Amino acid sequence: MTLSEVTHVSGSLGNFQVTIRQKPRYVDMEKCIACGLCAEKCPKKVDDPFNAGMGKRKAAYIPYGQAVPLKYAIDPEHCIYLTRGKCRACEKFCPTGAVNFEDEERTVTVNVGAVIAAPGFRTFDPQGLDVYGYGSVRDVVTSLEYERLLASNGPHMGHLIRPSDHEEPRKIAWIQCVGSRNINRCDNPYCSGVCCMYAIKQALVTAEHLNGGEVEQAVFYMDVRSHGKEFERYYESAKEKGVRFIQARPHSISPGEKGKGAVLEYVTRDGRPVREDFDLVVLSVGLEAPGNAEDLARTLGIDLNESRFARTSGFSPVAATRPGIFVTGAFQSPKDIPQSVTEASTAACEAARALAAARGTQAREKTYPQERDVCGEKPVIGVFVCSCGINIANTVDVQAVADYARTLPHVAHVENNLFTCSADTQNLIARKIQELGLNRIVIAACTPRTHEPLFQDTLREAGLNPYLVEMANIRNQNAWVHQQDREKATEKAKDQVRMAVAKAALNEPLHRLKVNVIQRALVIGGGVAGMNAALALADQGYPVTLVEKSDRLGGNAWKLITNDAGEPVEPYLEALIRRVNEHPRIGVHTRTTLRSVTGSVGNFHGILEEGGAEKEIRFGVAVLATGARESEPAEYLYGQDPRVLTHQQFDTLLRERPEAAGQARSAVFIQCVGSREPERPYCSRVCCTHSVKAALRLKEANPEMDVYVLYRDMRTYGERERLYQEARRRGILFIQYGLDAKPHVEKDGADLFVTVTDPILGRPLKIPADYLVLAAAMVPHDTADLVEMFKCGTNADGFFTEAHPKLRPVDLSVDGLFVAGLCHYPKPMDESIAQAGAAASRAAVVLARDEMLLDAVKSFVTEKCDGCALCVDVCPYQAIRLDTVEETGRPTRRIVTDPALCKGCGLCAATCPKGGVMVHGFTLNQLEAQVEAALGKAV
């Protein structure tokens, strides 16, 4: 339901009545074919909110090209007829009679068991803060406006120009923390968590948008917060590529010469005032709760926190304060895309868990028309060449490619589309299949790895077997990588289309097999993440085997005093362990490891080793939650002096001997010990907040104590920033150091001293330390055995690699495997708990049914097989066995393949000297046809 808002929620978990007010669209969604004539004929131009007001749209509009549903709407605030009673041009020109000015607001009530609130965020409006010059200096834009300036579907089609004179800016500044980390002038005290990374991304992408020549990018920052997975490397690469990072907050922004560009005034770290000209200034605006957050909270009956985000507990990060209502995305706290996508699954998990009893009771299957039998038909091929906005069309002459495609054998129809993946083009393809009797489709667009399923579905909806589509990847593997050579890129694109057409002509209908699913999960790792994943699945009704290699559940959490929200960990952990142990559907195995695994998604078969004894286990999915540990520092006198401790050791000390804090006069924390160093180039994410919490605890116990935190960038992201502010307020001293001037620790007699150069004073300080606490890097446990057994992967730092960081953040690349907790990347406990729920949610997708469809790309045996069995040994999945069949009266040896085990790798096909075994969709003929087509011989 679009154009809708919730006006009332009554009832309770399991039985809510939700009243929804739907505003009139004035366009009948059933009749609208999204041809766009209404917008074309509409005389009323309106500032386009999607392009941050920098472009225009009409009063009859779609918000953007990929809108779902792709149906036009009429904006009643601007429509001339609806405001002044005259016009109705859209109605006159609409070819389907879809415009309906009689449309009225309607109110519906739906009965649901749970509610998930995902209203998103709004960006901070810098208008009111004159210091940023926004609104008065023309070439000062917000980061969201800049994002639109860069976008190919933005106001200037991706051609980067500045507002004042529409010239290309060559020198651009980003100002961080606009509307974040600021309490002086009505900004927000919290850190928005995403702006550092988007500014770095924008700075790097900028270079691509300018046609050669020099470009200078400068980022003015307080702390660079690149604490996400692979983010630190991205930050380092930006530095290598010449992006300047300046730790300063410009205090004045004035217009440049003749009102073009802007002059920034700032003071460098060594106290030097600087005036610097820039062509364009981007304000990295922070994230805020939506403007109507209070109204929404009142309607839903939930509480907000002091930052206006939905109040949740660190132990149940998506549960709002009213049972049955869940929140996700930036409405819970500012967060990036991977975290938002993860927590969307968490919210789905919690809703499914709350409604487990009703699961499947109202499910309906999507139905497709009967598949047309194309056997015996000659190939009739339709080719659709995508411009992808300007992504492809900027480099490849798509019209020339389309013209060329018309000359290829079997090709009956060719089109060029702006976005071949858009809903209207999907409809068009389906229509052409039916009108022209097309029986093979070639899509020349992006990569089949992301878009093949979409086009396969289009074929199914048009009554064709989905495997009759073939893609030519002219974007990722052509236009994007040959941007400097239009001519050769176009030649290559023609070749790619010719290859795809040649292969498509040989494509045969394929069918997917169904296999039974063992509706049991294996969870490896009994820490907070593993236990939460196990409970989430067990509560939904699935039996779970929880395997822990040590002798007790709990993992790292035993060493933590509070979570980042200040809630005590121990009572939570004890209750969690009790629930896991007492759950009738969870089998807990401590001192147990997985020895071996065979099988595939839905049907895994493993051997567990428990106290020397082996035990068989069958399961449909596995969640890997093997955790991480604090590393052992190799510097700062660690191990040589008992006063030098790691975080976890210091927490243990404070728990066991609380009086120790009162007796000490000083404590020094050193950050990034073993993190963000060349040999371990990632940020451990948790240590800044951990140090701040520990420092605050010391100050609370002993306000007279001198507490120092020596840091590189403080990364107390999100609401954690409040802890950092509190620490500064309490007099904890934060001193920054660089990798080139690390602190020095020495013993002077019996005393321990830390020497560090204060960047403001420009002098070395020698600080006595009764305790020296090292923020040691988090390192993953050794998972080489699991990687080998499951054939999954880790990144260079040893953390499990997800299938896609944004699209599939808790799936591993191996089907049926999911990841949660520290083994994915260092993270605080609330994020581990959220990720565990997300992994359980994704795992439950497999477990929810007792059978699942296999991929159709599997090996098959041809009549040329003579049973030589060469392939049997090379199959890495043990999917081939030798069999004896009765043929023409005498026993004949033949191989038999098991499609459930076969992964379609084709080692068998490459080994077979006689074409006796092949892989569907990748037969020798099909590959040969592509080779020949590539070499210019159309087949």
932 binds other proteins (CB under 8 A): yes
358 binds other proteins (CB under 8 A): no
Give 184 or 211: the residue with its C-beta nearer to other proteins: 211
Distances (CA, A) of 209 to 150, 179, 474, 476, 918: 7, 27, 20, 17, 45
Give 162 or 498: the residue with its C-beta nearer to other proteins: 498
Answer whether the bond into residue 24 is a cis peptide, omega within 30°: no
- Can you tell me the distance from the alpha carbon of 307 to that of 194, in angstroms, rounded to the nearest whole number? 16
> Per the structure block, which two tokens stand in for 232?
């630190």
Closest contact distance (angstroms) between CB of 394 and other proteins is 12
Q: Which candidate, 108, 80, 102, places its Cα nearest to that of 27?
A: 102
- Can you tell me the distance from the alpha carbon of 142 to that of 51, in angstroms, rounded to the nearest whole number? 12
Which residue(s) pair with 383 in the sheet? Answer: 414, 442
Closest contact distance (angstroms) between CB of 924 and other proteins is 6
- Can you tell me the distance from the alpha carbon of 236 to that of 259, in angstroms, rounded to the nearest whole number? 35
Region near other proteins per CB under 8 A, out of 277-285, 416-424, 474-482, 738-746: 474-482
**In the stretch 148-187, what mask flags binding to other proteins with x, by CB under 8 A?**
----------------------------------------
Q: Residue with structure tokens 């069958």?
A: 618
Distances (CA, A) of 51 to 111, 158, 192: 36, 12, 22
Residue selected from 28, 112, 922, 939 as contacting other proteins according to rule CB under 8 A: 922
455 binds other proteins (CB under 8 A): no
Exposed, middle or buried by CB within 10 Å (0-12, 13-18, 19+), for 240? exposed
Q: Residue with structure tokens 């998930």?
A: 116
903 binds other proteins (CB under 8 A): yes
Give 448 or 633: the residue with its C-beta nearer to other proteins: 448
Q: Residue with structure tokens 């991929």?
A: 855
Closest contact distance (angstroms) between CB of 789 and other proteins is 17
Region near other proteins per CB under 8 A, out of 94-102, 272-280, 692-700, 905-913: 905-913
Region near other proteins per CB under 8 A, out of 34-42, 45-53, 358-366, 476-484: 476-484
909 binds other proteins (CB under 8 A): yes
Closest contact distance (angstroms) between CB of 857 and other proteins is 6
678 binds other proteins (CB under 8 A): no
Region near other proteins per CB under 8 A, out of 83-91, 352-360, 472-480, 679-687: 472-480
Closest contact distance (angstroms) between CB of 904 and other proteins is 5
Closest contact distance (angstroms) between CB of 923 and other proteins is 10
Closest contact distance (angstroms) between CB of 910 and other proteins is 5
Closest contact distance (angstroms) between CB of 907 and other proteins is 4
Exposed, middle or buried by CB within 10 Å (0-12, 13-18, 19+), for 368? middle
Residue selected from 251, 269, 275, 449 as contacting other proteins according to rule CB under 8 A: 449
- Within 10 angstroms of residue 746's Cβ, the number of other Cβ atoms is 12
Exposed, middle or buried by CB within 10 Å (0-12, 13-18, 19+), for 427? middle
The secondary structure of residue 477, as a DSSP letter, is: I
Give 407 or 483: the residue with its C-beta nearer to other proteins: 483
Exposed, middle or buried by CB within 10 Å (0-12, 13-18, 19+), for 429? buried
Contact 176, 222 (CB under 8 A): yes
244 binds other proteins (CB under 8 A): no
The strand pair at 514-516 and 851-853 is best described as: antiparallel
Q: Which candidate, 675, 717, 660, 674, places its Cα nearest to that of 692?
A: 717
Closest contact distance (angstroms) between CB of 908 and other proteins is 9
- Can you tell me the distance from the alpha carbon of 642 to that of 662, in angstroms, rounded to the nearest whole number? 18
Distances (CA, A) of 32 to 28, 38, 97, 102, 433: 6, 10, 8, 16, 21
Helix (H, G, I), strand (E, B) or coil at 91: helix
Closest contact distance (angstroms) between CB of 475 and other proteins is 7
- Can you tell me the distance from the alpha carbon of 17 to that of 777, in angstroms, rounded to the nearest whole number? 49
Closest contact distance (angstroms) between CB of 645 and other proteins is 42
904 binds other proteins (CB under 8 A): yes
240 binds other proteins (CB under 8 A): no
478 binds other proteins (CB under 8 A): yes
Closest contact distance (angstroms) between CB of 936 and other proteins is 8
Closest contact distance (angstroms) between CB of 148 and other proteins is 20
Q: 875: which residues sit within 8 A by CB, 6+ positions away?
A: 902, 907, 908
Region near other proteins per CB under 8 A, out of 9-17, 401-409, 688-696, 904-912: 904-912
Give 848 or 868: the residue with its C-beta nearer to other proteins: 868
6 binds other proteins (CB under 8 A): no
> Per the structure block, which two tokens stand in for 244?
């300047």
The secondary structure of residue 759, as a DSSP letter, is: T
436 binds other proteins (CB under 8 A): no
Residue selected from 47, 208, 277, 700 as contacting other proteins according to rule CB under 8 A: 208
The secondary structure of residue 90, as a DSSP letter, is: H
Contact 109, 17 (CB under 8 A): yes
Closest contact distance (angstroms) between CB of 26 and other proteins is 39
The secondary structure of residue 223, as a DSSP letter, is: S
**In the stretch 265-304, what mask flags binding to other proteins with x, by CB under 8 A?**
----------------------------------------
Q: Which candidate, 504, 515, 438, places its Cα nearest to that of 467?
A: 504
Closest contact distance (angstroms) between CB of 446 and other proteins is 8
Q: Show contacts with other proteins in window 784-813 (CB under 8 A).
A: 813
Region near other proteins per CB under 8 A, out of 537-545, 679-687, 749-757, 898-906: 898-906
Contact 491, 499 (CB under 8 A): no
Total residues binding other proteins (CB under 8 A): 45
899 binds other proteins (CB under 8 A): no
Q: Residue with structure tokens 């069309």?
A: 393
Q: 239: which residues sit within 8 A by CB, 6+ positions away?
A: 245
Give 529 or 875: the residue with its C-beta nearer to other proteins: 875
440 binds other proteins (CB under 8 A): no
Q: Residue with structure tokens 């739906």?
A: 110
Give 498 or 690: the residue with its C-beta nearer to other proteins: 498
Q: Show contacts with other proteins in window 846-865 (CB under 8 A).
A: 857
Closest contact distance (angstroms) between CB of 934 and other proteins is 4
Give 389 or 554: the residue with its C-beta nearer to other proteins: 389
Helix (H, G, I), strand (E, B) or coil at 397: coil
Q: Which candidate, 194, 189, 246, 202, places its Cα nearest to that of 222?
A: 246
Residue selected from 476, 590, 652, 725 as contacting other proteins according to rule CB under 8 A: 476
Give 375 or 935: the residue with its C-beta nearer to other proteins: 935
Helix (H, G, I), strand (E, B) or coil at 903: coil
Residue selected from 3, 274, 634, 931 as contacting other proteins according to rule CB under 8 A: 931
CA angle 53–56–57, rounded 5-degree value: 115
906 binds other proteins (CB under 8 A): yes
Region near other proteins per CB under 8 A, out of 688-696, 711-719, 721-729, 923-931: 923-931
Distances (CA, A) of 868 to 606, 818, 914: 31, 39, 10
**In the stretch 479-518, what mask flags binding to other proteins with x, by CB under 8 A?**
xxxxxxx--xx-xx--xx--x-------------------
- Can you tell me the distance from the alpha carbon of 552 to that of 591, in angstroms, rounded to the nearest whole number? 8
Residues that bind other proteins (CB under 8 A): 208, 447-450, 473, 475-485, 488-489, 491-492, 495-496, 499, 813, 857, 903-907, 909-910, 919, 922, 924, 927-928, 930-932, 934-937
